[in-house]
Amino acid sequence: MNIKPMKEVEAFLAPVAETVGAELLEAVWNNREKSLTLYIDAPGGVDLNLCETFHRAADAALDELDPTYGAAYTLNCSSPGLDRPFKTARDFERHMGEAIEVRLYAPFEGAKYYEGTLTAYEGGVITLATKKGEKHIPFEKTSKVCLLIEV
């Protein structure tokens, strides 16, 4: 199936998300299921009402954009989930001061896993306050960075 680039869909829908008090994080196309999933976040978190409101607004806007060139598809709207990996500088800004976990491809300063409080993200370097002191970890060395979920 021929579809428009997801970056184009994201750019088109970002202002729509803002009108309902959300931020569009990512648009993901699933070719097997013929579905478009829109991941949103908001300062107070995402609830079912926000998903529904954004879904309706996005659905109407997508009729104009026509991302599948007339082919049928399913539109989904979701929160990113607590374990969503950080991908952009905006992800780090959004979670400044929060507890995160950092997984690495190879050991960095003696470890492949760190957890602590995110204190800065600048120039592609994560600054993390850990129990053993401050760590400066280059983002390109990480395999996954996400919120620390404690149960």
Full strand arrangement of the beta sheet holding 111-122: 133-138, 125-130, 111-122, 99-108, 142-147
CATH of the structural domain 6-78, one choice from 3.90.110.10, 3.20.20.140, 3.40.50.300, 3.30.300.20: 3.30.300.20
How many Å apart are CA 51 and CA 59, to the nearest integer?
12
The parts of the chain modelled with pLDDT lower than 50 are none
SS (H, E, C) the chain: CCCCCHHHHHHHHHHHHHHCCCEEEEEEEECCCCEEEEEEECCCCCCHHHHHHHHHHHHHHHHHHCCCCCCCCEEEEECCCCCCCCCCHHHHHHCCCCEEEEEEEEEECCEEEEEEEEEEEECCEEEEEECCEEEEEEHHHEEEEEECCCC
Q: How much is the pLDDT for 59? A: 97
Q: How much is the pLDDT for 1? A: 84
How many Å apart are CA 81 and CA 87, to the nearest integer?
14
| Boundaries of every domain in the chain | 6-78, 89-147
Give the orientation angle of helix 48-65 with respect to helix 6-19, to 10 degrees. Answer: 130
CATH of the structural domain 89-147, one choice from 3.90.1150.10, 3.40.50.300, 2.30.30.180, 3.30.1440.10: 2.30.30.180
Q: Is the pTM of this model over 0.85?
A: no
Q: How much is the pLDDT for 45? A: 87
Q: How much is the pLDDT for 82? A: 82
Strand 111-122, strand 142-147: pairing: unpaired
